[in-house]
A = this chain, B = another copy of it.
Amino acid sequence: MRFLLGMLFTLLVSLLGGCQQESGDTHTSVVNATEVKPIEWKLVTSWPKNFPGLGMAPERFAQLVTQMSNGRLKIKVYGAGELMPAFEVFDAVSQGTVQMGHSAAYYWKGKVPAAQFFSSIPFGLNAQEMNSWLTYGGGMDLWQELYQPFGIMPLAGGNTGVQMGGWFNKEINSMADLKGLKMRLPGLGGEVLKKAGGVPVTLPGRELYTALQTGAIDATEWVGPFNDLAFGLHKAAKFYYYPGWHEPGTTLEFLVNQKVFNALPADLQAIVKVAAKAVNQDMLDEYTTRHIAALESLVNDHGVIIKPFPDEVMATLAVLSKQVIAEQSKQNAAMKKVYDAYVDYEAGVRKYHLISEDAYSRFRQ
């Protein structure tokens, strides 16, 4: 994905799904919000306001916090470009210009290279593994340590699941087909493509359609059927490749200004953390479900041709990915520390998943 500045989408989707709360009768112990002055926070995001999937997580988070705090903590969500550009979220939360942000950790790689491990890395952990590593495998401690010098507390803020490989106007039958391939593929995935002889390009989402159609690029990745259908990418590309080796379990993040968080009473601190955790799962629930109908529409209504990357291509990209990530990690002590922990957890969880989740999914194929 890699959502860049100023995307066109500003859909008014307000699907509140499974997190809606029913109103109940009043009770003797109700706390009246009018008795206390509400705390008001601003939350800036790297997505257009109400962007389907990604942009709904901060909206739902804010709603849950308001409900659970009975209005004592009110969080106003701003889309990218409303208060500041998409990529100023980290600095704004760090400086306390705003209290919270919602974004993706790999956007901060220029400042914090190790942050990339907390969104998604090529051929890395999937969604279930990312959640498990963060919560019980020590990942969250490392993430907090990484953002601590910036006065930011990170919280997992959603997961897209494994993304799609992308939209191609050229068939990929072997590694030779990647030579000279101009593909919009930012970040670590792009560096892997470069090592394979391709030409990674960075483009904002709103330019993808035109760039594909005019032949300025041969291919682009985005997210998956739900977001890709809405962007109309099927009208500008011949083949839809899978799986998204470059982002196998993309974690989103909430950023909280640590000082402001520390000043909250303990109950509101708990409310912020637990609402984030609920929303973290909710995004994956929503993506998984909405991809179903979108995929059916792409195939049945639009005749999209879906193709797997050949095994040989996947295997070679996996080797190149390991090289790129190991090389980058050597150059930065903080990144090396996270890399070692990540690789260790990955080795263990793969052994277990090989005889559990992966074995079951293999059988179903």
Seen from chain A, the residues whose Cβ lies within 8 Å of a Cβ on chain B are 17-19, 21-31, 36-39, 64, 67-70, 72, 123, 126-129, 131-137, 140, 161-164, 224-225, 242-245, 248, 261-271, 273-275, 277-278, 280-282, 284-286, 288-293, 295-296, 306, 308, 311, 314, 318, 345, 348-365
Contact = CB atoms under 8 A, between A and B. Distances in A.
Given A264-B24, A271-B68, A360-B243, A352 B18 contact: no
Given A308-B355, A358-B365, A282 B291 contact: no
A28 B131 CA distance: 35
A161 B356 contact: yes
Nearest to A299: B351
B355 A30 contact: no
B17 A135 contact: yes
Contacts of A24: 261-266, 268-269
Contacts of A271: 68, 271
A140 to B, nearest CB: 6
Given A133-B289, A262-B25, A288-B132, A267 B360 contact: no
Contacts of A277: 18-19, 277-278, 281-282
B29 A263 contact: no
A136 B242 contact: no
Nearest to A123: B364
A308 B362 CA distance: 12
Contact of A285 (B27, B132, B355): B132
Contacts of A365: 354, 358, 362
A23 B24 CA distance: 29
Contacts of A363: 243, 245, 311, 314, 318
Which 8 A-B residue pairs are closest in the complex by CB-CB distance? A18-B135, A136-B289, A132-B288, A30-B265, A67-B270, A70-B267, A292-B348, A135-B285
B355 A364 contact: no
Contacts of A355: 164, 242-243, 295, 306, 308
Contact of A360 (B30, B248, B262): B248
Contact of A356 (B134, B291, B353): B291
Contact of A21 (B140, B273, B311, B318): B273
Contact of A295 (B280, B291, B292, B351): B351
Nearest to A290: B136
A282 to B, nearest CB: 7
